[in-house]
Amino acid sequence: MSRNDRFLGKKVLVTGSGTGIGREIALEFAREGADVVLHYAHSERGAKTAAEEIKAMGRRTAALKANFENVDEVIQLAGQAIDFLGGIHCLVNNAGITFNKPFLKVVREQFDAMFSVNIRAQFFLTQKVVEHMLEHGGGAICNLTSIHGLQGAPEHAVYAGTKGAIIAYTRTLGIELAHKGIRINAIAPGWVMVENHAKIFPGYTEEGAREAAKSTVPLGRPGIPLDIARLALFLCSDDAEYIVGQTIVADGGTTALMSLISDFRHESTARCGLGYLVGV
């Protein structure tokens, strides 16, 4: 079997796959042989154009809509995907929303929506898919979280709380289900360029983002959706069969960089060890 056929015959559901990272994950699974159901809540055009690309590859695919603030729709999505594909071997929980606001200004409706979409929906969708996997030989699940679940950023208390919850339940569920043939891991992306950034940041351009990343990301560039897609496929593949309950950080070195270091691109003028180490 060639590398491009790693997932030949596999059935995959990718949530939040109308734009950005989720869309690229769905396309990458199809490139490697899988039949794919795409889920969207608002980005219908993106999901359906991706489905057309997947059909052109000769794979079976469908784009299904579900509101992730409604658990009944989430459970229905799982059932529809299983029925259409004839099963699910891999689930990628990518759907999520982002939000920033000073802590004292957050209202209950915002808090509830964030936790409903980012963790409650993911939890109960996974529960439904796991029921199916347990009856049909197991499978693999990849949850998308964020480096916000690992490091702090002002005005992101609610968002970071949801992403930290994903990390925690991935770890616990991973050890609960591994011996039953279901592997669960997560990815914590750093700065990845997606089309929604143009809506969030005034004056945003890809060229500007690349330039800014030269001095803020140790690798010297922002991520692209394909960086995360390739990792998601690896974690769902047999190549990762000994990896369980882990959150893999993909951020170009962002979280590895000590925040007190002002400019990692140049040799430091500070001399630690001066006076007591030879050659300093």
**Which residue among the candidates 48, 159, 237, 276 is catalytic per the annotation?**
159
Please identify which of the residues 163, 214, 215, 276 carries the catalytic annotation: 163
The verdict on whether 146 is a catalytic residue reads yes
Q: Is 65 a catalytic residue?
A: no
Please indicate whether residue 159 is annotated as part of the active site.
yes
The residue from 17, 116, 146, 169 that is catalytic is 146
CB 254 within 8 A of CB 217: yes
Which residues carry out catalysis? 146, 159, 163
